[in-house]
Amino acid sequence: MQHFLTAALYKFVELPDFADMQAPLLASCESQGVKGTLLLAPEGINGTIAGSQEGVQAVLAFLRRDPRLAMLEHKEAYAAHMPFYRMKVRLKREIVTLGVPDVHPALMAGRYIKPQEWNALLDKPGLVLIDTRNDYEVAIGSFTQAINPQTKSFSELPAWVEREMAPGGHLAPVNGKNPQVAMFCTGGIRCEKSTAFLRSKGFEDVYHLEGGILKYLETMPEDQSQWQGECFVFDERVSVGHGVKPGNFTLCRSCRDPLSAQDRQSPLYELGVSCPHCHAKTTDSQKQGYRERQHQVEMAETRRIAHIGARQPGSD
C-alpha cells in the first residue's frame, strides 16, 4: 500500500524576510509529522516533503496562507515507505544555485510553454533546444534534438552559455540576431532560472517547458511524445517513464549515479558499494566502509527500522 504522500514544490518569489520564515515553517512540519528538506532564500522556496496525506496538506495550507505563496504549486507522488528521516528547513542564497547575481526568475523568466504546445515549438526552424540538467541525468533520457551542455552541476551552465555565445557556438547570433532558445529540466525550476539568465544576456525569444519533463510525461500520450528514454528523479523511484510510471533504473549508493540493468550486471557492481561509474574512483578502504554501511542498512531493513545513515537520492 502507498501510505506516504510526497510533495515536491518550488516558487520563485521575492522573500526579503525569508530568515524569519524558517522557525514557523519548521514548527508546522514537525507538528504534522512531515519530513524532508525545504530551502528558503530571497528568491523563493524549493524542496520536497513527505508524510501522511493530512500532514502534507496541512503544511501546504500553512505555506499558502502567506499571500506571496498563495499560488504555490506542487507535484504529488505516493510511496510505500517514508523517503526521508528528518525535517530540515535551510536558509540559502539561492533555492537553486546558479551563482550569478541579479538574476530574478520571478521577474525575468522566459515564456512558459505548456506540454501540449511543446512539440509544435520543437518543430520551429532554427530553434536551439537546451537540456539544463546535469550529464548523469541527460544520460538516461532527453528530447531527441536537445543539446547536452555536459555539466556536472547547474552552476556550470553560465560558463557554458558564455562559450556558446562566441562565433561558431550554439548560441551565437545569426545575421546579427540571437537565436530562439527553448530550455527544459525535470520539474521546471532550473529552466525557469536559466531562461532568466539568458534574458539577462540579451536573448529575447526564450521559452521553457511549463512543469518540466515530469508534466510532459504525465500529459503527452506516448505515441505523440518526442521524449526518448527515462527521466531521472530525486526520490526513491530514481527514474520514471511515460505516464510518470516508475522506470528501470536504480541508484548507486556510493556515487549516486543512476544504474541500468546492464550496469547492474557488471562485475564492478556491488550493491551499496560500487558500480561501473565509480569502482575505480574509490579505495579498498572506502569500499570496505561502504560494505559495512550496506550491512547496517540490511540489518535495519530486517528489523523494519529506519537506518538513519542511509543516503537519500538527490540529497546534499
| pLDDT over 70 percentage in the chain | 95
Enumerate the domain spans of the chain.
4-91, 105-224, 252-316
Q: Which three cell numbers stand for residue 242?
A: 511515460
Please give the C-alpha separations between residue 173 and each of 177, 184, 247, in angstroms, as whole numbers. Answer: 5, 21, 39
pLDDT band at 281 (very low <50, low <70, confident <90, very high): very high
Q: Residues 185, 231, 252, 275: which is the catalytic one? A: 185
SS3 249: coil
Residue pLDDT, tens place only, 41-97 = 999 999 999 999 999 999 999 999 999 999 999 988 887 888 888 999 999 999 999
Please give the C-alpha separations between residue 50 and each of 19, 80, 112, 164, 307, in angstroms, as whole numbers. Answer: 23, 11, 28, 40, 17
Burial class (CB in 10 A: 0-12, 13-18, 19+), 67: exposed
Q: Which CATH architecture has domain 105-224?
A: 3-Layer(aba) Sandwich (3.40)
Q: Which three cell numbers stand for residue 47?
A: 524542496
278 and 253 in contact (C-beta within 8 Å)?
Answer: no
pLDDT band at 1 (very low <50, low <70, confident <90, very high): low
Q: What are phi and psi of 53, to 5 degrees?
A: -60, -40
Which residues are registered as beta bridge partners of 11?
A: 45
Quickly list H helices, 201-283: 212-219, 261-264
Domain 4-91 has CATH 3.10.450.350: no
Tell me the whole-structure pTM to 2 decimals: 0.85
**Confidence (pLDDT) at 313:** 37
297 and 310 in contact (C-beta within 8 Å)?
Answer: yes
SS3 26: helix
b/e code 218-234 from CB counts within 10 Å (16+ = b)? ebbeeeebbbebbbbbb
Mean pLDDT of the chain: 92
Which residues are registered as beta bridge partners of 88?
A: 37
Q: What distance in Å separates the CA atoms of residue 276 and residue 298, rounded to the nearest whole number? A: 22
b/e code 293-311 from CB counts within 10 Å (16+ = b)? bbeebeeeeeeeeebeebe
For the question of residue 185 being annotated catalytic, the response is: yes
Residue pLDDT, tens place only, 220-273 = 999 999 999 999 998 778 999 999 888 999 999 899 899 999 999 999 999 999
Q: What distance in Å separates the CA atoms of residue 113 and residue 226, rounded to the nearest whole number? A: 15
